[in-house]
Structure 1
């Protein structure tokens, strides 16, 4: 038997919002993830899409293995009688599913950029919040209040408006558009799966499985499809290392960590700030023009995020078992 517990504070009969620190953590994750496009552009001077993702996951796997080893070493003491984590069959299946879905999403998105325009790919990728909320409702019986749904709709429409002027409908872009749309669906599924695992496993464990299995899945595919598996110049090596450590370890790590405070639906909406951040950086660094439509779209996204953040559906729901298994302790894993 389970019950749903929300991490909010009851005070004077009213539910108080979460503190600012988790939101700043999510903002740092967004900043780290936003750097991916720059590093991918540099890496793809020598490597294909599959090889770039393979190197990203392989280096990140090593980093998370080191972090997990250090964490276990710090907890190891004569006074530590805590039971080791136990992996049940459904846990292993979900961890493998997260790795497969996440890796497929990244590869499909990278491939879509070679088959369609950046504007088309980005716009379709921004539909992720719709698929996250829809999947949570259909598969996991999640409920969203009216404020959250309205905020999500406003934010998605704002994100679409950012690139709608450059959106092109043509038969030659059909394959790339389909890959971008499928990537958005898979990324939304990834957030939902990680949200369920986050209540039972620490961030580094989830990401170690995700990156490790993703590396194993991509190795034969990359070996067959790509002529070059590893970078040849130090500049591209720096790019793939930064892609792994900044975007995967720091960015994705903080995103997974934030799923203990926020719902997957809210994080999907919050990530709509990424194209805004990219556009503003392009404006500051490359002097790219931003018209009044762009600024209106920015306001719409920010307004939508504010509405979703102020709703009850933005907080993370954690499933807590009311019946403990014999001979085990509730230490965050099963």
Structure 2
């Protein structure tokens, strides 16, 4: 294998920092409905990708079969609701709690593969899942003591993790037949349309937001989306899936630090303890379920 044009580990560090900005950016645009923030994040991402798709990938659209369009549509709907639930959770709970709970996605994914593909659990996977779930209970218990609304935010974050898991499970078969760019463009496009319909249904305004919000919407499309997930998927050519998965576990730490610096959010003892236990459980889980297969890294 030829040497990479840049150090893949340095690229992963940039990616971790990039995805860590997502929750803070959403909080900064808290005056806009969560579904509007999600809508413009995906819409701007689609607009930015369009020239590259037209120049280099338009021939792949002929390869998309009717079944794949149906699956891509379902994946897009689940991705849309992932962002709705997760972004909405940030209106009720802290960045620390929300990001840690959304990071439980690998466990939901493994449960999904067990139910639909009959993939067996190892003893290590079961133990690590119990540890991670125990940590999430500590976070939720601490948040409930602070406010019932904080617990509601935790519940929304977990729903967001379930939605993004469904997005992955549905889309993984299409990814084998399409390039990452084409698949992402199609799903983001469908997800944007879903969010437009959702926002129109609930009467949310698409205009009238402060100029700073529009910069935040654009930043969400560029920083966590392209500088985050795109760099991770580039690094998968040179690094193992487990290495990238381990790196993603640093997102809650980065997001919590940024929230402390930018938003003055204080992390409670239950969030520190529960978050540490969740991340430790996820670390063990990734080690125990490590397989040599490539995945699309995304949620933030």
Q: TM-score range by the shorter chain?
A: 0.7 to 0.9
> Per residue, is there more helix in 1 or in 2?
2
Give ranges in structure 2 of 5+ residues lacking alignment: 1-6, 296-300
Measured at CA, do residues 255 and 140 of structure 1 come closer, stay the same or move farther in structure 2, by a change above 3 Å? Answer: farther
**Cα drift, residue 307 of structure 1:** 3.6
Q: 1:316 aligns with which of 261, 285, 293?
A: 293
Partner residue in 1 for 2:46 = 61
Structure showing greater Rg: 1
Q: 2:161 aligns with which of 180, 184, 193?
A: 184
Q: Deviations over 1:190-223 (max 9, x none)?
A: 2223433332221111110111111111113213
Partner residue in 2 for 1:15 = none
The answer as to whether partners of 1:308 and 1:314 remain within 8 angstroms in 2 is no
Please tell me the root mean square deviation across aligned C-alpha atoms, in Å: 4.1
Partner residue in 1 for 2:18 = 32
The answer as to whether partners of 1:195 and 1:260 remain within 8 angstroms in 2 is no
TM-score scaled by length of structure 2:
0.74
Partner residue in 2 for 1:71 = 56
Provide the rounded CA distance (Å) in 2 between the counterparts of 1:22 and 1:146: 32
- Paired residues, number: 290
Give ranges in structure 1 of 5+ residues lacking alignment: 1-20, 74-81, 319-334
Q: 1:128 aligns with which of 105, 109, 113?
A: 105
Provide the rounded CA distance (Å) in 1 between the counterparts of 2:179 and 2:155: 34
Provide the rounded CA distance (Å) in 2 between the counterparts of 1:28 and 1:309: 21
Provide the rounded CA distance (Å) in 2 between the counterparts of 1:93 and 1:263: 31
**Cα drift, residue 49 of structure 1:** 1.4
TM-score scaled by length of structure 1:
0.68
> Per residue, is there more strand in 1 or in 2?
1
The answer as to whether partners of 1:128 and 1:268 remain within 8 angstroms in 2 is no
The answer as to whether partners of 1:119 and 1:163 remain within 8 angstroms in 2 is no
Provide the rounded CA distance (Å) in 2 between the counterparts of 1:145 and 1:28: 33
